[in-house]
Amino acid sequence: MIRKLAYGQYRLYSVKKDPKTGKRRNLGTFESLAAARQHEREVQYFKRHGH
């Protein structure tokens, strides 16, 4: 889940809330929407294939 920050960057959040904090986990901040989307795809891949 990508959100645009006030100063023009994009942040990738986890879809599920973190049970410890009750908030979404920040999975990285990116200068461009394209970079954030690319990383989101990589995260999805690792959920299925990585450790």
Give the domain ranges of the chain: 2-49
How far is Cα 38 from Cα 49, in angstroms, rounded to an integer? 16
Exposure on the CB side of residue 33, measured as CA atoms within 13 A: 5
pTM confidence score: 0.79
Quick: pLDDT tens for 2-45. 999 999 999 999 999 999 999 999 999 999 999 999 999 998 99
How far is Cα 48 from Cα 38, in angstroms, rounded to an integer? 16
Q: Are 1 and 24 in contact (CB under 8 A)?
A: yes
Token pair 């959100």: residue: 3
